[in-house]
Structure 1
Amino acid sequence: MEIHTNIPLKNFVTMRLGGNARFMTDVRSIDEIIAIIDRAAAQNLPFYILGGGSNTIVHDEGFDGIVIRNRIMGQEILSETPSEVSIRVGAGEQWDEFVKKTVDMRLTGIEALSGIPGTVGAAPVQNIGAYGQEVAETIVSLDAYDTQSKTLVSLSNDDCRFSYRNSIFRDTEMVRYIITFVTFRLYKSAPQPPFYEAVQRYLDEHTITIYTPQVIRDAVLAIRTDKLPDPKLKPNNGSFFKNAIIEDWQLTDLRETYPDIPTYNMPDGRYKVPTGWLIEQAGFKGKLLHGIRVHDKNALVLINESATSFADLASARDEIAGKIRDTFRILIEQEPLEI
């Protein structure tokens, strides 16, 4: 395990902004995780676990601690029945490579999460979701190192307290657990309609009526390619803002002025409003703000076109969020974590 010093973090996050990490290292085993956490504690250094860098934005002053890149690999089938399969996957595996493998196995459950960048270990942190699926729906449990008790623990799905783009790992226990393996339960049955609106539209336009995991993966990848710029070519974090969640009374008020406002019912009786729609209605779609371009095909995406600092990104973010607040009386939240 090599420890590097004064590493430019902008080279490791997809927005390509931010200062340096005082220290950085890769860990490939649980023993290495324990060793580096003990070392950080002995030197009173904060730590941050970095996956693929697509859900992290870095402040201009950088990180005065140690950034740990989790590279624990491995995939193992734990159990199999005529209808389902349980698979345990290392946190350092690339998410989309894992999705592809499950689709090749003709398994259903995460095929609509195709094309999402990042690692398997990062997926539970923000409870990634897209096109009608959330990763929480397939997670049985996960293994982690508890930096408080200094023990290896297994957390159930309920323990993770998954909610919309959230979990204990980015909330109440943000720096407590280091995820090492995730166990998924996937299914041998074919995907079943109704599908997410954009996916169904794609299937209808291409006259597809036989549904397999590969068909859904192909549809999702085609949709994402059209709507989401490749971060290797255009630095971005994917969807920069979470969709807004509003109360019934808010929706009633908004419909008086915006009768065509799109909404999705939430299980708790609230409503999800596409933040991209709000940003577009506020006139930001395609605009350049402080070197940050609001994507002209998907207003949820902010592209670093000419920004040179985190301050530029923050100014663009705050300008958009402020206009949404003033126009719709809705507070929108960013998805990426900050260090």
Structure 2
Amino acid sequence: MNISTDISLKQYTTMQVGGNARFLTEATAAEEIPQIYHDAQSRQLPVFVLGGGSNVIAKDEGFEGVVLLNRIKGFEVVSEDEQSVTLKIGAGEVWDEVVARTVDMGLSGIEAMSAIPGTAGAAPVQNVGAYGQEIADTLVEVEAYDSATDAMVVLPAEACHFSYRHSIFRGSQMGRYCITAIIIRLSRRAPQPPFYAGLQRYLDEHHITNYTPAAIRQAVIAIRRDKLPDPTVTPNSGSFFKNAMVSQEMLDAIRQTHPDVPNYAMPDGTYKIPTGWLIDQAGFRGKELHNMKIHDKNALVLTNPHAATYHDLESARQAIIQAVYDQFHVRIEQEPLEL
């Protein structure tokens, strides 16, 4: 096990801000995980598990602990029948490569989550989703190391307590588990309409009616390419803010001044309002502030053209949050975790 010291976190996070990690190590097999935690605990140091770094922001003071790069690979069929195929995916697999392989197999269930950066192990952490699909829809269970019990465990999907962009892994049990693999069940059945509004609009405009997993994947890639900047070219963390969840009363209040506010009814009786729309209405689309920039094609995305520090990002974030609150009385929330 190789351990590096005083390593800049900028190179491991797509926003490219922040300080150094005191220690950094890499795991390529689940069997390596317990020893990494044992060594950290013997030094009374915390462990932070990092995948692709696309949904994590590093602070300027860095991380006074051990950053564990999860690079555990694996892709295998564990069971199948006439309707579905169940796959076990190593946590360190690149998510979009996983999606591509399942689409090539003719399987449906995660094709609308194409082109999302990051790793498979990170997908359950924030219940990653896009265009009407989320990992909670297909996840069977999670294999993980439990640092509280010093044991390898299997958590069924219901134990993850999934909700919108949330799970126990970034909530009540944050820091407890290191996910080593995910088990997902995908369908042999072709994707079925109606699709998410933005996706359906693209399909209609391009006269696509043969709804195969491959067709949906290519449509999503085209949509994302048009509205989301490439983090390898322009540092960013994708969607920086979660979409806003509001009550019926709050939605009605916003409609008084903005009758055309886009909204989507949720199963729990709340309504989802696209936060990009709120930010756009507050006048931030394409605006630069504190060396950061709100993307000119998607106000949900905060990019880093010039910032060198987390402090710049923090200042820009707070200015956006306050402006949206002042105008709509809605408190928007950051999506990426902080290291």
Q: Structure 1: 5+ residue runs without aligned partners?
A: none
Counterpart position of 1:59: 59
Counterpart position of 2:294: 294
**Aligned residue identity for 1:25:** T
**Aligned residue identity for 2:159:** D
Counterpart position of 1:233: 233
How far is 1:271 from its partner? 0.2
State how 1:128-277 maps to structure 2 within 5 Å: 128-277=128-277
Deviates more, 1:220-229 or 1:248-257: 248-257
Counterpart position of 2:331: 331
Alpha-carbon distance in 2 for matches of 1:254, 1:203:
31
Deviations 1:211-261 (A, max 9, x none): 100000000000000000000000000000000000111111111111111
Counterpart position of 1:282: 282
How far is 1:155 from its partner? 0.4
Alpha-carbon distance in 1 for matches of 2:278, 2:127:
23
Counterpart position of 1:14: 14
**Aligned residue identity for 1:112:** A
Structural RMSD (CA): 0.6
Counterpart position of 1:121: 121
Alpha-carbon distance in 1 for matches of 2:76, 2:304:
38
How far is 1:205 from its partner? 1.2
Q: Structure 2: 5+ residue runs without aligned partners?
A: none
How far is 1:269 from its partner? 0.5
Counterpart position of 2:81: 81
Alpha-carbon distance in 1 for matches of 2:291, 2:311:
11
**Aligned residue identity for 1:197:** A
Deviations 1:290-324 (A, max 9, x none): 01110000000011011111000000000000011
Deviations 1:4-32 (A, max 9, x none): 00100001100010000000010112221
Alpha-carbon distance in 2 for matches of 1:281, 1:254:
12
**SS class of match (1:184):** strand
Counterpart position of 1:102: 102
**Aligned residue identity for 1:166:** H
Alpha-carbon distance in 2 for matches of 1:302, 1:224:
15
Alpha-carbon distance in 1 for matches of 2:153, 2:207:
48
**Aligned residue identity for 1:199:** L
Counterpart position of 1:48: 48
How far is 1:113 from its partner? 0.1
**SS class of match (2:35):** helix
**SS class of match (1:121):** helix
Counterpart position of 1:316: 316
**Aligned residue identity for 2:106:** R
How far is 1:160 from its partner? 0.2
TM-score by length of 1: 0.99
Counterpart position of 1:29: 29
How far is 1:197 from its partner? 1.1
Identity across the alignment (%)? 57
How far is 1:158 from its partner? 0.5
Alpha-carbon distance in 1 for matches of 2:133, 2:60:
35
Alpha-carbon distance in 2 for matches of 1:321, 1:260:
21
How far is 1:118 from its partner? 0.4
Deviations 1:13-72 (A, max 9, x none): 000100000000101122211101000000001110000000000100110111000111
**SS class of match (2:122):** coil
How far is 1:136 from its partner? 0.6
Alpha-carbon distance in 2 for matches of 1:307, 1:180:
34
**Aligned residue identity for 2:336:** P
Alpha-carbon distance in 2 for matches of 1:254, 1:293:
26
Moved >6 Å (runs of 4+): none
Alpha-carbon distance in 2 for matches of 1:282, 1:28:
45
1:70 and 2:70 aligned:
yes
TM-score by length of 2: 0.99
Deviations 1:258-278 (A, max 9, x none): 111100010001000000000
